[in-house]
């Protein structure tokens, strides 16, 4: 039994909050705090008569460390679950440190004025968190998140050594719009318009955006084109999976999405450099976000499935072995259950699970840790219980 303070009330947070409310045995109490109080109050009103979890709400600017400290002092949560944007990671970690409160997030820190996400800023807190006796669990979404748990599970139960990991993220969903993003458009477009990269033989190999393309036949979805991207879990898995030779990350994109993205890039709409417009400074990408469909509105109209997982290759008892662990999730089933599409669902469920394991002390390691550093078994059990059952294949088709 415990209390979580959840910061942010967007697409992912809404799913995590629904899941906490289904899991009242663990989450006796939650406080939903975000920039726009009305969103928190609306969700509270929709949920409070259907759950034993006690819900309160608060307004907070998560860039303001003092305000966060005051909120944590007032609420006294056992864990803070950060589901705001990556820009707020450091201020929320700083507030957790000052109040000696455990911290969980789903995305690594990215400065607002540079499209460059990496772990160095959060890893810099390792010693301070360790000294304070509190745990920061980084990246408890799907990717990063479940992909790290899958890697730890594969290493624990199926391999003596993992040499190759290919993470395949397939969204076979169709929302019927020519162009929309499945999660926060600003974060999504920053991610996919950046150079790609992968880890090979101890160093990074950089690629142009969308330079490497493969086709893969996904269980439950069918054949899709996928493209190599840089993705944040590559950075921590390269360190935490001993002896790893190569890790790559592929994500599927439809042709319409890519055409629109190219055109928007070509006309400057994806830029994060502020420009002067009618006497006001605006950031083109933020303006674009304002005119695109809100990801939260895609739920009712998205049909199809996601299939996200990892293909491992390595050695067991001196022999070569391959192993594929993945989850298939249906957009409409998610919508019926929690009112959101599968992208928010596949992130919100692991966020709830990570917060639960840290809050209950099942995962209890002071310091700042990526998810693959913990025992994967309780998380794998919880995935099956809370809506993201996983499947295995011992003879998968490999990606060349
Ligand atoms: P949304 O834009 O839907 O929600 C973000 C929420 O954060 C909004 O409620 C927003 O408030 C709030 N917020 C933003 N700035 C502040 C601030 N300064 N103070 C307080 N609250 C603030 O995003 P998503 O739900 O799609 O994404 C949430 C997180 O999940 C992101 O970090 C994203 O990168 C991550 N993610 C991780 C994935 C994974 O698999 N690991 C996959 C998908 C997403 P307001 O309502 O006022 O705008």
Are the C-beta atoms of residues 75 and 69 closer than 8 Å to each other?
A: no
Q: What is the mean pLDDT of the chain?
A: 95
Residue 278 burial (CB < 10 Å; 0-12/13-18/19+)? Answer: exposed
**Is 218's pLDDT higher than 90?**
yes
The three-class DSSP label of residue 240 is: helix
* Model pLDDT, residue 191: 81
Residue pair 68/60 in contact (Cβ under 8 Å)? The answer is yes
Q: Structural domain tally of the chain?
A: 2
The pLDDT, as a whole number, for residue 194 is 87
Residue 190: the pLDDT is 81
CA of 347 to the centre of ligand 1 (A): 11
114: phi then psi, degrees, rounded to nearest 5: -135, 125
Q: Please report the pLDDT score of residue 267 as a whole number.
A: 95
Measure the CA dihedral 356/359/363/364, to 10°.
180
Six-digit token pair at 283?
């950031």
First-to-last C-alpha distance (Å) of the chain = 47
For residues 383 and 356, the answer to whether their CB atoms sit within 8 Å is: no
Residues 106 and 175 in one domain: no
* Same-domain pairing of 172 and 126: no
Q: Which two tokens stand for residue 63?
A: 């860039």
For ligand 1, is residue 8 a contact (CB within 6 Å)? yes
C-alpha to C-alpha distance for 150 and 146, rounded to whole angstroms: 6
In the chain, % of residues over pLDDT 90? 89
Ligand 1 center–CA 83 separation, angstroms: 5
C-alpha 341/C-alpha 333 separation (Å) is 8
Instruction: Calculate Rg over the CA atoms of the chain.
Output: 20
Spatial distance between the Cα atoms of 249 and 228, rounded to a whole number of angstroms: 6
Q: Which of 354, 356, 348 is nearest to 388 (CA)?
A: 348
Question: What's residue 306's pLDDT?
Answer: 97
Of 190, 208, 198, the closest CA to residue 235 belongs to 198
Q: For residue 14, is it within any domain?
A: yes
Residue 102 Cβ < 6 Å to ligand 1:
no
* Residues 120 and 187 grouped into a single domain: no
Instruction: Give CA separation, 98 vs 132, 200, 243, 326, in Å.
Output: 9, 39, 37, 38
C-beta 143 within 6 A of ligand 1 = yes
Q: Is residue 180 part of a domain?
A: yes
Q: Is 85 in the pocket of ligand 1 (CB under 6 A)?
A: yes
Q: Report how far ligand 1's centroid is from the alpha carbon of 59 (Å).
A: 15
In terms of Cα–Cα distance, which of 335, 336, 339, 377 is closest to 357?
377
CA of 92 to the centre of ligand 1 (A): 13
Q: What is the pLDDT of residues 221-268, one digit of tens each?
A: 999 999 999 999 999 999 999 999 999 999 999 888 889 988 999 999
Helices 342-359, 377-385: crossing angle, 10 deg rounding: 130
Residues 191 and 127 in one domain: no
CA 318 to CA 322: how far, in whole Å?
13
Q: What is the pLDDT of residue 182?
A: 81
State the DSSP code for 201.
T
Q: How remote is the CA of residue 277 from the centroid of ligand 1, in Å?
A: 26
Residue 183 confidence class, pLDDT cut points 50, 70, 90: confident
Q: Where are the beta strands (DSSP E) in 317-387?
A: 319-330, 367-370
- Choose the final residue of a domain: 318, 343, 368: 343
97 plus 150 within the same structural domain:
no
Which residue do the tokens 């050594």 mark? 161
CATH for 196: 3.30.360.10
- Cβ–Cβ < 8 Å for 289, 185: yes
Residue whose entry in the numeric block shows the structure tokens 């507030």: 95
| Domain identity same for 42 and 177 | no
Cβ of 188 less than 6 Å from ligand 1: no
Express as a percent the part of the chain with pLDDT over 70.
Answer: 100
Name which residue leads in pLDDT, 334 or 111: 334
What is d(CA 83, CA 33) in angstroms, rounded to the nearest whole number?
10
Interstrand relation of 2-7 and 27-34 (parallel, antiparallel or unpaired): parallel
Of 138, 172, 193, the one marking the end of a domain is: 138
Maximum Cα–Cα distance across the chain: 68
Q: Which residue has the tokens 């928010």?
A: 344
Does the C-beta of 38 come closer than 6 Å to ligand 1? no
Report the CATH number that the domain containing residue 19 is assigned in CATH.
3.40.50.720
Structure tokens at 381: 């059990």
Ligand 1 centroid–CA 315 distance in Å is 39
The rounded Å distance from CA 298 to ligand 1 centre is: 16
C-beta of 112 in contact with ligand 1 (< 6 A): no
Burial of 79 (0-12, 13-18, 19+ CB in 10 A): buried
User: Ligand 1 in contact with 314 (CB < 6 A)?
Assistant: no
Same domain, 204 and 107: no
Asked whether residue 42 is domain-assigned, the answer is yes
| Banded model confidence at residue 115, pLDDT cuts 50, 70, 90 | low
Residue 181 belongs to what H/E stretch? none
| Whole-number Å distance between alpha carbons of 113 and 122 | 17
Range of the domain at 232: 146-343
Q: Is residue 53 part of a domain?
A: yes
> Residues 343-378: pLDDT tens digits?
999 999 999 999 999 999 999 999 999 999 999 999
Which numbered atom of ligand 1 lies nearest the CA of 351? 41
Backbone dihedral region for residue 264 (phi beyond 0: left; psi -120 to 50: alpha; all else: beta): alpha
């Amino acid at each position: 039994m415990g209390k979580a303070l959840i910061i942010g009330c967007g697409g992912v947070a809404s799913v995590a909050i629904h899941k906490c409310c289904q899991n009242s045995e663990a989450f006796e109490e939650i406080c939903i705090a975000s920039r726009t109080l009305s969103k928190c109050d609306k969700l509270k009103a929709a949920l409070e008569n259907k759950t034993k979890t006690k819900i309160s709400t608060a307004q907070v600017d998560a860039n303001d460390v003092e305000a966060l400290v005051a909120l944590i002092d007032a609420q006294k949560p056992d864990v803070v679950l950060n589901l705001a944007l990556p820009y707020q990671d450091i201020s929320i970690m700083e507030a957790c440190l000052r109040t000696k409160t455990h911290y969980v997030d789903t995305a690594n820190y990215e400065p607002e004025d540079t499209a460059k996400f990496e772990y160095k800023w959060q890893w810099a807190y390792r010693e301070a968190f360790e000294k304070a006796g509190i745990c920061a669990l980084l990246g408890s979404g799907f990717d990063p998140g479940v992909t790290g748990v899958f890697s730890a599970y594969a290493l624990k139960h199926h391999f003596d050594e993992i040499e190759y990991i290919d993470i395949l993220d397939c969204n076979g969903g169709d929302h019927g719009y020519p162009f929309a993003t499945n999660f926060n458009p600003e974060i999504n477009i920053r991610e996919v318009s950046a150079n790609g990269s992968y880890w090979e033989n101890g160093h990074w190999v950089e690629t142009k955006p969308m330079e490497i393309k493969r086709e893969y036949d996904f269980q439950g979805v069918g054949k899709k084109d996928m493209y190599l991207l840089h993705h944040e879990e590559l950075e921590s898995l390269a360190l935490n999976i001993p002896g790893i030779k190569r890790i790559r990350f592929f994500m599927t994109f439809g042709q319409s999405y890519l055409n629109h993205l190219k055109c928007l890039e070509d006309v400057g709409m994806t830029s994060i450099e502020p420009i002067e417009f009618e006497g006001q400074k605006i950031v083109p990408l933020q303006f674009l976000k304002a005119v695109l469909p809100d990801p939260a509105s895609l739920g009712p109209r998205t049909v199809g499935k996601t299939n996200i997982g990892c293909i491992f290759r390595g050695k067991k008892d001196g022999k070569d072995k391959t192993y594929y662990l993945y989850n298939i999730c249906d957009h409409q089933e998610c919508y019926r259950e929690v009112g959101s599409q599968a992208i928010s669902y596949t992130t919100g469920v692991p966020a709830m699970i990570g917060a639960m394991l840290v809050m209950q002390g099942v995962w209890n390691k002071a310091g700042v840790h990526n998810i693959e550093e913990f025992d994967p078994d309780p998380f794998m059990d919880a995935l099956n219980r809370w809506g993201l059952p996983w499947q295995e294949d011992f003879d998968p088709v490999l990606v060349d």
